[in-house]
Amino acid sequence: MKYTNTMVLALLLILAACTAQPVNSSVPGEATISIIHLNDTYRVGDVEEGRRGGYGRIATLVRELQAQGKIVRITHGGDLLFPSLESQLWNGEQMVEALNFLNDLAPTYFVPGNHEFDRRTSGAVVDAVRKSEFKWLGDNLHFETGETDVDSSLERAFIFSAGGRNIGIFALTLLPRDGGNDRAYARVEGEYLDVAERTIGKLERAGAELIFGLTHMHLADDKMLADLKLRHPSFMFIVGGHEHEPEFEAGSEGAATIMKGASNARTIWQIDITFDDGTPAISTTEIAVDQSIETDPEYQLLADKWRNRLLEIIPFLLSRVGEAALPLDGREVTLRNVESNWANFIVDQMPGAFGEPAADFAFINSGTLRIDDYVTDDITFEDIGRTFGFSSYLNHMTINGGDFRTLLEAGYRGDGPSKGYFPQISGFRVCVDRSRPEGQRIVQLQVPDNGGWQEIDNSRDYTLVVSDFIFRGGDGYDFSKARNVSRPGSELKYRVLDAILIAQAKGQKVGGPVDPKNRRIAMLVEGDESCY
Ligand SMILES: [Zn+2]
């Protein structure tokens, strides 16, 4: 072959391009370290009728990255063991086995979330830690289960080596004051900022070349930590959990990048770490885990095993109890932001739960409803079981109109959408302006009046039914002004099942559309004075 001048020129250009192009690593051939991050996963299988999420699809992604020569590590941002239909039977053992599967593919690091400590006693956590092959990380967490192997199992100021590089992780769990479970066997302590900075210092001294946070807390607190990058430049990012929809806060010179995925691994994050002359750099990709990704066949065997066990224990799981009049939307993205037709049907079973006369109002925190899916066509026992991942006992009480309004403001606090404390309501309608200061966001709170609506009477007494969970202070609602409070009774799950069975017996379908002309929950449009 004879080289032409053009070919030589082209070769020279290519060579020039190679030298001019900044290479990502100082060590020739140094591999990229890919972190795959997921959080808030409650299901062994996938969700949205098989269309989204699932560890089986993550397994496929991990294998693909490894085939590309990348070194993969997996992080899980907490909320794994509870709540779910399966967890009521197996205390989260099924999720531990699922995450162990991923850990077999790529070492996996896990920070406990608040739901790990849903049980009042330590047994579930003890079993979970003992069965975990992945690592439990906790820098503000102390196990005091009385089992020495478990109590000493938490990794603190954790460093792993990958591709010849040392990467440090600080791990933080939600404090009880922010909605975390307050358990003697799992104490979460210290101010987030103090613990994070102290741990980052330790990681720096131990030789970590890049540091990141693995957290399960409110986004506002993650944002506060991100600023530590000013003083600690090797602290590059935070991957977290607790919010159930994707979050991304771009980083800068003085702030670490923050990422959270959607619940049930509907979206996850890939963070590629490279080193340029020893200086770490990251590139981040949000991945929609959908039908474009095949499910790993080996993982599917594990998912099938748990599915079959469930069907063995609950053989009537797929039995039809009723029929949905239309697709009933139980997805978290709906429940935690706007009025949901599935929630409306559920909450409407609450006012009558304590006999006649029915209570004036009822509401639940949307986090009570865990199905994260549509209920369509046949309603099965499984739909009911998945909707209620927790016990759902109810309390009846009396409250003054003004106090009710104040109490309900807690449902609209904070600066983001998609909160588990967002209320789904019955017996009243509410107009909310999120741009106002906290505690003053309810623009209108109206009650039925002779076929119409009128503003709530602040001085009058009303009767109210809520779940025992929020009555006891769960999700930040303050019921100290409630009077004549009943003992917890009448579990909502069975009220709902009963109502569906009655509808079925009458030949009626379940549910109705959200009425766009008369929304129970309306968000004030900018520039408007009121919603109704
Ligand atoms: Zn959480």
Cα distance between residue 107 and residue 36, in whole Å = 11
Task: Tell how far the Cα of 446 is from the centroid of ligand 1, in angstroms.
Answer: 32
Indicate if the pLDDT at residue 515 is higher than 80. Answer: yes
pLDDT band per the 50, 70, 90 thresholds, residue 13: very low
pLDDT at 14: 40
pLDDT, tens only, 56-103: 999 999 999 999 999 999 999 999 999 999 999 999 999 999 999 999
| CA of 253 relative to ligand 1 center, distance in Å | 29
Buried b (16+ CB within 10 A) or exposed e, 352-371: bbbeeebbbbbbbbbbbbbb
- Find the radius of gyration of the CA atoms of the chain: 26
- The Å distance, Cα 265 to ligand 1 centre, comes to 14
Helix (H) or strand (E) holding 103: helix 93-105
Of the candidates 377, 440, 382, the residue with the CA atom closest to the CA atom of residue 413: 440
Are the C-beta atoms of residues 348 and 426 closer than 8 Å to each other? yes
Is the pLDDT confidence value at 383 over 60?
yes
Pairing of strands 158-162, 442-449: unpaired
CA of 165 to the centre of ligand 1 (A): 31
Is residue 25 pLDDT above 70, yes or no? no
| Confidence (pLDDT) at 27 | 56
Tell me what the pLDDT averaged over the chain comes to: 93
- Name residues whose C-beta falls within 8 Å of residue 334's C-beta, 6 or more positions apart in sequence: 340
- The Cα–Cα gap between 358 and 353 comes to 8
User: Residue for token digits 């009480």?
Assistant: 397
pLDDT value at 291 more than 70: yes
Torsion angle defined by CA atoms of residues 173, 178, 179 and 184, in that order, rounded to the nearest 10 degrees: 60
Report strand pairing: 210-216 vs 165-173: parallel
Q: How far, in Å, from the CA of 416 to the mean position of ligand 1?
A: 15
- Torsion sign over Cα 468, 474, 475, 477: positive
Residue 199 and residue 215: Cα distance in Å, rounded?
A: 13
What are the phi and psi torsion angles at 451 (to 5°)? Answer: 80, -10
In this structure, are residues 465 and 490 in contact, taking their beta carbons and an 8 Å threshold?
A: no
Residues in the chain: 532
Element (H, E) at 214: strand 210-216
Residue tagged 């205390």 (tokens): 91
Q: How far is the CA of 419 from the centre of ligand 1 (A)?
A: 10
CA–centroid distance, residue 367 to ligand 1 (Å): 10
CA distances from 319 to 86, 267, 346 (A): 17, 31, 20
- Residue 281: pLDDT band by 50, 70, 90 thresholds? very high
For residue 119, pLDDT beyond 60: yes
- ∠ at Cα 483 (479, 484), nearest 5°? 130
> What gap in Å lies between CA 302 and CA 304, rounded to an integer?
5
